[in-house]
Amino acid sequence: MELYPLKFQPLYKYRIWGGEKLKTELGKNYSENLIGESWEISDVNNDETIVIEGPLKGLTLKQLTKRFKGDFLGETVYTAFGNNFPLLIKFIDAKTPLSIQVHPSNEIAKSRHNSFGKNEMWYVMQAEKEAELIIGFKEDLSPKQYEQYLKDGKILDVMNHEVVSKGDTFYIPTGRVHAIGAGVLLAEIQQTSDITYRIYDYDRVDNTTGEKRELHNDLAKDVIDFSVHDTYKTQYNKTVNQSNTLVHSPYFKTNFLKVEGNITKDYSNLDSFVIYMCVDGNTQIEWKNDIFTLKKGETLLLPASIKNISLSSTSCELLEVYL
C-alpha cells in the first residue's frame, strides 16, 4: 500500500488553564470544557494519534512507523530513532497562565524518565492585548538567589516577560525556564516528550482534584540554565512563496512558508518526513492528481517518500517542519 499525505485525529487535552479558542479560532470539534491543548501528531505512549482518512485510516503513528520505516520517516531519521516518532506537534490555548516550568535535557530525561528531553518552539497565532510569554531570566541570578525568590513567591519578578503578537516566535531549549501567559494561542513544535518540571503555579487549585498541582523543584533545580540573553525572540524573514528559516535546531527544523498563488515544492534532497501546520488562511495541496485541503488549525504530514507536491492559495501561512 502506498503512502500519501496524512491527517490525524487530534487529541484534546483538559488543562486547568485551557479556554475555548481551539474551538472558536481553529474550528476544533469537542464538547469538553477547559481544553488547553490539541495534540495534532503524537507518538507519546497511550496518546498516539490515528490517521483519519484514506486507505491507512485507523492506523496509529507508531503502526505507520513500524510498517513503512524509512519510507515514512526518512532513512536517516529511521536509523536515528527507529520506531519512535521524534516530534510532538500541538496547538495550545492559554486562557489563564501556564505554570512556570522547565524541561530536562536528553541526557537527564533519559536517565530519570527513559524519555527524550523537551526542546521546543512557539509560534504565536493570536494574542490578546498585552498578552505575554515568560521566557528566561531578565537578570543574573545565583542558584541560591533563585531559590530565595521561589521561597518568597516572587519568582515572576526576575523572569523575562515578552508582550507578544501574531507571528512572534521563540525557541525554548531545555533548561530555559518559561511559561505561556493568559490570552495566547500558539503552535508548539517539540521533541516527543511529556516531561515537565513545574516550578511555580500561582497557588491555584485544580477543580477536578480539589488540590494544588504538584511542583517539581527538587528535580528542576539542577536542570535550570541561569544564563541571561539580550533577546529571546527569533528574527526571521517572511518572503512570499519560499521557505524562510524560522528555527533550525539539532532536534527539528521549522520554516515559515507564506503561499500566495501556486508554488511547487521539491523535497528530493530531504531525507525526512515534512509536517505542515496551517497557522493562517487555507491551501490546497496537490499530489499525484489528488487534492488535500488544509485550513487554519489543521496539520498534514507528508511521508518521506513524497518528494514533489504543489500548493495553491489566495493567502496561507504554514509552518514547514522536518528533521
Q: What is the CATH number of the domain that holds 135?
A: 2.60.120.10
Kindly state whether residue 231 falls inside one of the protein's structural domains: no
Residues 167 and 206 both lie in one domain: yes
- Could you give phi then psi for residue 147, rounded to 5 degrees? -65, -30
> In whole angstroms, what separates CA 84 from the centre of its chain?
17
Given this model, what pLDDT does residue 263 score? 98
- Assess contact for 275 and 297: CB atoms under 8 A: no
Residues 117 and 177 both lie in one domain: yes
CA–CA–CA angle 3, 6, 9 (5° rounding)? 140
| Those residues with Cβ within 8 angstroms of residue 208's Cβ, 6 or more apart along the chain or in another chain | 14, 16
Kindly state whether residue 85 falls inside one of the protein's structural domains: yes
Given this model, what pLDDT does residue 128 score? 98
* Structural domain ending residue among the three candidates 171, 188, 220: 220
> Bridge-partner residues for 51, per DSSP?
8
Residues 267 and 155 both lie in one domain: no
Residues 24 and 80 both lie in one domain: yes
Sequential pLDDT tens for the chain (323 residues):
899 999 999 999 999 999 999 999 999 999 999 999 999 999 999 999 999 999 999 999 999 999 999 999 999 999 999 999 999 999 999 999 999 999 998 899 999 999 888 999 999 999 999 999 999 999 999 999 999 999 999 999 999 999 999 999 999 999 999 999 999 999 999 999 988 999 999 989 988 899 999 999 899 988 999 999 999 999 999 999 999 999 999 999 999 999 999 999 999 999 999 999 999 999 999 999 999 999 999 999 999 999 999 999 999 999 999 99
Given this model, what pLDDT does residue 194 score? 85
Given this model, what pLDDT does residue 135 score? 97
- Rounded-to-integer distance, Cα 42 and Cα 39, Å: 6
Given this model, what pLDDT does residue 30 score? 96
Residues 258 and 213 both lie in one domain: no
- Rounded-to-integer distance, Cα 164 and Cα 154, Å: 23
Residues 45 and 157 both lie in one domain: yes
Residues 196 and 275 both lie in one domain: no
Given this model, what pLDDT does residue 7 score? 98
Note down the domain range covering 13. 8-220
Residues 68 and 152 both lie in one domain: yes
Kindly state whether residue 3 falls inside one of the protein's structural domains: no
**Number of domains composing the chain:** 2
* Structural domain ending residue among the three candidates 220, 254, 271: 220
Given this model, what pLDDT does residue 106 score? 87
Kindly state whether residue 228 falls inside one of the protein's structural domains: no
Kindly state whether residue 2 falls inside one of the protein's structural domains: no
Given this model, what pLDDT does residue 207 score? 86
Ordered DSSP codes for 230-250: S--BPP----BTSEEEEEE-S
Helix, strand, coil proportions of the chain in percent (round to 5)?
Answer: 15, 45, 40
Residues 78 and 216 both lie in one domain: yes
Residues 280 and 199 both lie in one domain: no
- Rounded-to-integer distance, Cα 257 and Cα 318, Å: 5
Kindly state whether residue 261 falls inside one of the protein's structural domains: yes
Kindly state whether residue 36 falls inside one of the protein's structural domains: yes
Residues 25 and 166 both lie in one domain: yes
Kindly state whether residue 233 falls inside one of the protein's structural domains: no
Residues 155 and 280 both lie in one domain: no
